[in-house]
Amino acid sequence: MQDKIWLSSPHMGGNELKYIHEAFDANWVAPLGPNVDGFEKDLEAFLNDDVKVAVLSAGTAALHLALIECGVMYGDEVICQSMTFSASANPIAYCGANPVFIDSEKDTWNMCPVALQKAIEDRISKGKKPKAIIVVHLYGMPAKMDEILEIAEKYQIPVIEDAAEALGSTYKGRSCGTFGRFGILSFNGNKIITTSGGGALVCHTQEDKDKTVFLSTQARDNAPHYQHSHIGFNYRMSNIVAGIGRGQMEVLKSRVEARRKMHNFYVDLFKNIDGVTVFSEPADDYYSNHWLSAIIVDEEKTGKNREDVRLAFLEDNIESRPLWKPMHMQPVFEDAPYYGDQVAEKLFENGLCLPSGSNLSDQDRDRISKIIKQLFA
C-alpha cells in the first residue's frame, strides 16, 4: 500500500518546540503566560492592527462566547449559513436558542444575501427578530460581505463571521474575520495553521476582549476570594498550546502560498476536462487562502460522479471528502426553519474536497494527477 495522502494534515514550521521549551523553562504551564500574549499580538498584527484577539481552547468555544456577548438567550433565533461544518451551528443550541438556516449562492458557496433578507423579514413578521447572523467563509472563500453587512445594518442585527477556515483570506483587501461584530478563528489539526486544537475570538474593542477573557476564565469577580456574578467558562488557551501557535505564525504566509499553489495545480489538472469545475474566486475582490481545494463534477457531461472520483482516489490511499452536508439536511436540525432553494443541496451532491495540504510533494501531485487522468481518459 502506498503512503496515505491526507486531505489536510498538520505542517509544523520548526520553531514551535522552541516556544514550548521557553514555557517549560519559565514554568508558564497554565492558561496564561508570554506565549498566550505573544500569539494574540501576532494574530492582531497579521489581521490588522486595530483588532483585539482573545485566544481560546477552540473555534467552537469562540462562537459560543460570541453568541453570549451578542446577548443570545434561551428561545432566541439565530441565523446561520446552512452549508458549513456543524460547529458553526452547535453553539446556537448551547445557548438554548434556535437556528434558522440560509442557503448558499453559487459564486462563493456562502450565505445567499437574497435568502438572508427574506428570512429576516419572515422571522420578524412571525414576531421574532433574529439576534445574530453567523456567516461562514467556506474553504477559505470570502462570503459576499458588502451585501450581507448592508442587510445586517438595515435590520440592526450583529454579524458573527466564522473564519475558522479563512485565516489569510481577504475580501477587498481586508482580512476575513475582521468585518463582523465578532470573528472566530480555529487552529484545529486540519486547519491552515494548527496548535493541535485551539481557536480565537476577534474583537474590535479592548472592552470586548476583556469580557471574552473574563468569561473564558470562569468569570471571577475582582476580589481576593472566589466570587462570581456571572456564569463562566473554561475556554482559555493554554500557554503550551499558544507556543505552537507562535511558531505557526512565523510560517502562515508561506502556508497560504502553498495552499494557493495546490489550487492552481488543480485548475491546471482539470482545465481540459469538460464538466469538472474547480472552486475559484468569482472576482478580484475575493482572495481565498484555498484551505481546501474543491471541485464540482457534472455527471451528465463527464459520465462520472463525485463518488467515482472519491473511490478512485481511495483505491490509491488518497483521501478526499464530499463537501459539508448542509445543516438543514442534518437529522439533528430537521425541525429548524430553512430559507432558500437547492444551491447547497446540489453542491453537496456533486462536490468533492481534494488533498490540499501545504506539505504535499511533487510525488504526491503526480499520484493525484495519474488517478484523475486515468478516470477521465
Ligand X SMILES: *Cc1c(COP(=O)(O)O)cnc(C)c1O
Q: Given the rule CB under 6 A, which residues bind ligand X?
A: 58-60, 84-85, 87-88, 136, 162, 164-165, 186, 188, 199
Q: How far is the CB of 84 from ligand X (least distance, A)?
A: 5
Q: How far is the CB of 53 from ligand X (least distance, A)?
A: 14
The runs of H, that is alpha helices, within 71-135 are 90-94, 113-125
Q: Residue 318 pairs with which residues in a beta bridge? A: 5
Q: How far is the CB of 291 from ligand X (least distance, A)?
A: 8
**Cβ distance to ligand X smaller for residue 15 or 90:** 90
**Cβ distance to ligand X smaller for residue 59 or 243:** 59
**Cβ distance to ligand X smaller for residue 70 or 87:** 87
CA angle 241, 208, 226 (to 5 degrees): 70
**Cβ distance to ligand X smaller for residue 175 or 186:** 186
Q: How far is the CB of 43 from ligand X (least distance, A)?
A: 14
| DSSP string of 327-346, one letter each residue | GGGSGGGTTS-EES-SHHHH
Q: Yes or no: say if 161 and 183 are a contact pair by the CB < 8 Å rule.
A: yes
Q: Yes or no: say if 358 and 9 are a contact pair by the CB < 8 Å rule.
A: no
**Cβ distance to ligand X smaller for residue 58 or 347:** 58
Q: How far is the CB of 366 from ligand X (least distance, A)?
A: 29
**Cβ distance to ligand X smaller for residue 88 or 117:** 88
Among candidate residues 142, 153, 14, 131, the one with its CA nearest the CA of residue 78: 131
Count other C-beta atoms under 10 Å from residue 224's C-beta: 5
**Cβ distance to ligand X smaller for residue 33 or 199:** 199
Sheet with 199-203: list strands edge to edge. 52-56, 199-203, 182-186, 159-162, 132-136, 77-81, 98-102, 338-339
- In the bound state, the residue with its beta carbon closest to ligand X is 59
For residue 150, give every residue at least 6 positions away whose Cβ sits within 8 Å of its Cβ, in sequence order, or none. none
Q: How far is the CB of 19 from ligand X (least distance, A)?
A: 20
CA angle 81, 141, 376 (to 5 degrees): 105
Q: How far is the CB of 58 from ligand X (least distance, A)?
A: 3
Q: How far is the CB of 110 from ligand X (least distance, A)?
A: 11
DSSP β-ladder status, 170-171 and 293-297: unpaired
As a whole number of angstroms, the distance between CA 360 and CA 368 comes to 11
**Cβ distance to ligand X smaller for residue 184 or 318:** 184
Cell 439536511 locates to 329
